[in-house]
Chain A
């Protein structure tokens, strides 16, 4: 059936089965492909989006359960007050290798900084531990979060 979803500030209509994970509705039906498929079981974080500002794994959210929640994806981070700083830090430090996980990493990092503007290393670990980087760019992810939060990069 047709669902109207609030994605990146727009009302978008998607005619899908209600059990379709939000990830696939975004990617295949709405053409929003920044959220990535990595595991399908919320173990890697590549599909992370914000649901009313909180980082969630979109592979685990049935489309029928989204309702009026505001969905924000990596595609909208350039206009997000914190997200654009995170993206800038990611670019300055050239964090990525293959880059596949980085939309999810940036979504988790943005949610962290929105809530905790000056996170400690332990807070970074806790917030980012659900996001796997197979290329293991963790050194730069940590440094970029520090930079985006205006802290010394260690």
Chain B
């Protein structure tokens, strides 16, 4: 199989499978490589070749979070095979077989921990039954060793490869009826396992969306209005077409159904001009000749400065709606021993996937096939169907590795653009956005403004907290990823607490960025709690533990907060970091602590920083204590996700902001939107605190507390409180 032919082979092999993917399929029509030519499917996920090589299907999109390795590990463990005999195959988009296939919310572990181990156990049970039939013995007489069924009494042994075909007559058992392995006997789960594709990555193999190629393929570049949704007034199509290599250039009016109201704009086809050529560089040269004039658009009256002014006005008044109102905040503040009032701000952020948005599409004979580095394939298929007026069943979405996800590729705008262009030109097309396209047409992490008031009593307890959150949207609904739940910590832990919300209308698309909501709210709340700790003259870490109290769980699902779990990680990070000895740090250095629950994971982090007299910040080290339950499935991947998330958070806090002027994004590229580089990256020491809870995910929850740990450390080092991101080092000058 060459990279020119990236069709999922699974489709050709499995004739029929149930919704749970566990019904036996009898079809054997492999077209995969020679070595494992005859593969017998045991279920939708598992195929066994006569030589014992087992192919396991990875159901979800891989964008660097490691699921292509981790999910098959769950199946392989219970199937009982050697990992070295496993071949992993990326699934196509097929929700009927696999259920929802997406990369988001750090959900792959909690959703699949039980389910996929049972997929492996069912296949193992069938192999045992097939052996028992052959030996005419009760299945209970049989056990497995990796890749073999063994008869305990006779000592006879059969390989899985020799039994697979006989499984055709076996009815799969009810997955729930099976007893799973004792974790003490795990041979794969819990073992540090390199990414399945590691060899292909380090040798530069064509794994990514941008590497796809189809016979007769053309290349496309697309230009959209700097003001989101503005229509094309004019474009010099002839000038573009005159460029050598350019095949055609045309205007796309935008979504024909007008499905995308303000706030959702950018989710689908926007007004744009496409240039198609025999190479991408020619397409880009053509695009540069277009001289597009854009129609006026009301969003051009919006700007970051304007948002800030509106936020000040709104924050001074009563909130447009109440998200929570416990006790009597005003009376409690009036009676507090100390009160603190503070305004916080965080900016819009871009996802900045290193692989720009791209998609390869082939529209042929009324059918569409796409190869997309998407985190969310089925909604992409539905979007293409709606926009192109096609039936979803005439559209095939192949998931290809994404060069970073971070939530950006949950949207499928690049997919529908490629599909539209391919249909327009009647040829396979690879659409690649420029970096500038990517940065200026993101679905941004929304900015936000918080006006806090808080009070502590003489014993150092928080007695009142009030947040007026000015976000974006309408009085009744925030735009994507701009909301705040009434249960936001420290709600439920403080008797007098009020959350009010007001909103500014927004013409800029927003969307989830790694740890959405949490990546902003952790900064403001954990910073303000640190302010209250200092106002109470308390040790900030002890103050957090005291706030969490002595009940193991506070509140009810879905707002249940495992206070004891958070206390556990706070204590652990205190020990790891030598928190108690921080008084010995030299002048200009400090440690800060923060904790946060998101995506079911409990994280406490301590940052150690040094701030130079000129304000330059050096993060010397970060310690992380994490509680994601009883089992780390792949320690290699887990550590990488946590370290990467922490550095990602520091990178946001130190450098990143998207600003709006006249309705358009001002930043263009990595020159004015800086990402952390290696010289800034501190060591990140991680400890997983094992507790008896079901395992949860690691793509996101380490990020949110990294930011307030840093800013609280800067306060400890300098006495200066960071209330606005990104951090302005000017204000830290001695």
* Shortest beta-carbon distance from A13 to chain B in Å: 15
| Partner of B64 from A90, A99, A141 at Cβ < 8 Å | A99
* Shortest beta-carbon distance from B216 to chain A in Å: 14
* Shortest beta-carbon distance from B571 to chain A in Å: 25
With A34-B204, A98-B403, A136-B644 already in contact, the answer to whether A40 and B279 are too (CB < 8 A) is: no
Interface: A149 (CB within 8 A): no
Interface: B186 (CB within 8 A): no
Nearest A-chain residue to B206, judged by Cβ: A33
> What are the residues of chain B within 8 A of A56 when measuring CB–CB?
none
CA distance A20 to B194 in the complex (A): 37
Contact B198 A24 (CB under 8 A): no
CB interface residues, A 83-109, toward B, < 8 Å = 87, 90-92, 94, 96-103, 106
**What 1/0 mask marks residues of chain A from 11 to 39 whose CB sits below 8 Å from any chain B CB?**
00000110011001001110101111111
| Partner of B203 from A21, A75, A128 at Cβ < 8 Å | A75
Interface: A5 (CB within 8 A): no
> What are the residues of chain A within 8 A of B648 when measuring CB–CB?
135-136
Contact B203 A77 (CB under 8 A): yes
CA distance A126 to B678 in the complex (A): 9
Interface: A151 (CB within 8 A): no
* Shortest beta-carbon distance from A99 to chain B in Å: 4
Interface: A65 (CB within 8 A): no
Interface: A43 (CB within 8 A): yes
Main DSSP-derived SS at the B contact region? loop
**What 1/0 mask marks residues of chain B from 231 to 273 whose CB sits below 8 Å from any chain A CB?**
0000000000000110000000000000000000000000000
Contact B207 A99 (CB under 8 A): yes
With A34-B203, A74-B204, A140-B640 already in contact, the answer to whether A43 and B279 are too (CB < 8 A) is: no
> What are the residues of chain A within 8 A of B651 when measuring CB–CB?
136
Nearest A-chain residue to B243, judged by Cβ: A17
> What are the residues of chain A within 8 A of B132 when measuring CB–CB?
none
> What are the residues of chain B within 8 A of A87 when measuring CB–CB?
202-203
Contact B643 A20 (CB under 8 A): no
| Partner of B401 from A21, A74, A99 at Cβ < 8 Å | A99
With A33-B206, A128-B678 already in contact, the answer to whether A94 and B432 are too (CB < 8 A) is: no
> What are the residues of chain A within 8 A of B279 when measuring CB–CB?
16, 20, 24, 28-29
Interface: A134 (CB within 8 A): yes
Contact B404 A135 (CB under 8 A): yes
CA distance A36 to B195 in the complex (A): 20
* Shortest beta-carbon distance from B429 to chain A in Å: 13
CA distance A131 to B319 in the complex (A): 45
CA distance A29 to B280 in the complex (A): 10
Contact B65 A97 (CB under 8 A): yes
> What are the residues of chain A within 8 A of B677 when measuring CB–CB?
128-132, 138
* Shortest beta-carbon distance from A33 to chain B in Å: 4
| Partner of A39 from B206, B280, B435 at Cβ < 8 Å | B435
Contact A94 B355 (CB under 8 A): no
Interface: A46 (CB within 8 A): yes
With A97-B641, A132-B670 already in contact, the answer to whether A41 and B435 are too (CB < 8 A) is: yes
Contact B202 A96 (CB under 8 A): yes
Question: At the interface with chain A, which of B470-478, B603-611, B679-687?
Answer: B679-687
Nearest B-chain residue to A34, judged by Cβ: B204
Nearest A-chain residue to B681, judged by Cβ: A138
CB interface residues, A 121-154, toward B, < 8 Å = 124-126, 128-142
Contact B643 A98 (CB under 8 A): no
> What are the residues of chain A within 8 A of B213 when measuring CB–CB?
31
CA distance A21 to B210 in the complex (A): 17
Interface: A51 (CB within 8 A): no
Interface: B56 (CB within 8 A): no
Contact A98 B203 (CB under 8 A): no
| Partner of B355 from A41, A97, A100, A126 at Cβ < 8 Å | A100
Among A87, A128, A141, chain B packs the most CB atoms within 10 A around the CB of A87
Contact A97 B644 (CB under 8 A): yes
Contact B280 A28 (CB under 8 A): yes
> What are the residues of chain A within 8 A of B203 when measuring CB–CB?
34, 74-75, 77-78, 87
CA distance A125 to B681 in the complex (A): 10
The tally of CB-CB contacts under 8 A between chains A and B is: 180
| Partner of B640 from A31, A40, A97 at Cβ < 8 Å | A97
Contact B63 A98 (CB under 8 A): yes
> What are the residues of chain A within 8 A of B115 when measuring CB–CB?
none
Contact A132 B354 (CB under 8 A): yes
> What are the residues of chain A within 8 A of B65 when measuring CB–CB?
97
Nearest B-chain residue to A38, judged by Cβ: B354
CA distance A138 to B244 in the complex (A): 42
CA distance A43 to B402 in the complex (A): 20
With A34-B203, A37-B210, A43-B669 already in contact, the answer to whether A136 and B198 are too (CB < 8 A) is: no
CA distance A87 to B353 in the complex (A): 23
With A20-B279, A36-B355, A40-B434 already in contact, the answer to whether A135 and B64 are too (CB < 8 A) is: yes
> What are the residues of chain B within 8 A of A39 when measuring CB–CB?
435, 669-670
> What are the residues of chain A within 8 A of B355 when measuring CB–CB?
36, 38, 98, 100
CB interface residues, B 57-74, toward A, < 8 Å = 63-66
> What are the residues of chain B within 8 A of A96 when measuring CB–CB?
64, 195, 198, 201-202
Interface: B676 (CB within 8 A): yes
> What are the residues of chain A within 8 A of B637 when measuring CB–CB?
94
CA distance A8 to B57 in the complex (A): 35
Interface: A71 (CB within 8 A): no
> What are the residues of chain B within 8 A of A37 when measuring CB–CB?
210, 356, 432
Contact B669 A91 (CB under 8 A): no
Interface: A73 (CB within 8 A): yes
With A78-B203, A106-B202, A139-B643 already in contact, the answer to whether A24 and B403 are too (CB < 8 A) is: no
> What are the residues of chain B within 8 A of A97 when measuring CB–CB?
64-66, 404, 640-641, 644
| Partner of A100 from B205, B404, B636 at Cβ < 8 Å | B404
Contact A94 B402 (CB under 8 A): no
Nearest B-chain residue to A125, judged by Cβ: B679
| Partner of A103 from B66, B204, B675, B683 at Cβ < 8 Å | B204
Interface: A113 (CB within 8 A): no
Contact A125 B678 (CB under 8 A): yes
> What are the residues of chain B within 8 A of A46 when measuring CB–CB?
354
Contact B204 A142 (CB under 8 A): no
Contact A41 B669 (CB under 8 A): yes
CA distance A133 to B82 in the complex (A): 33
What 9 pairs across the A-B complex have the smallest Cβ distances? A34-B204, A98-B64, A100-B403, A74-B204, A136-B647, A138-B681, A99-B201, A97-B64, A125-B679
| A–B complex contacts, Cβ < 8 Å, 28 sampled | A21-B281, A28-B219, A28-B279, A28-B280, A36-B208, A38-B356, A40-B435, A41-B671, A74-B204, A75-B204, A77-B203, A87-B202, A87-B203, A90-B202, A94-B195, A96-B195, A97-B65, A101-B354, A102-B201, A103-B204, A128-B678, A129-B677, A133-B354, A134-B403, A135-B644, A136-B644, A138-B647, A140-B640
Interface residues of A (CB under 8 A from B): 16-17, 20-21, 24, 27-29, 31, 33-41, 43-44, 46, 73-75, 77-78, 87, 90-92, 94, 96-103, 106, 124-126, 128-142
Q: A37-B432, A38-B670, A41-B670 are in contact. List 4 more A-B contacts (CB 8 A).
A: A78-B203, A97-B66, A102-B202, A126-B679
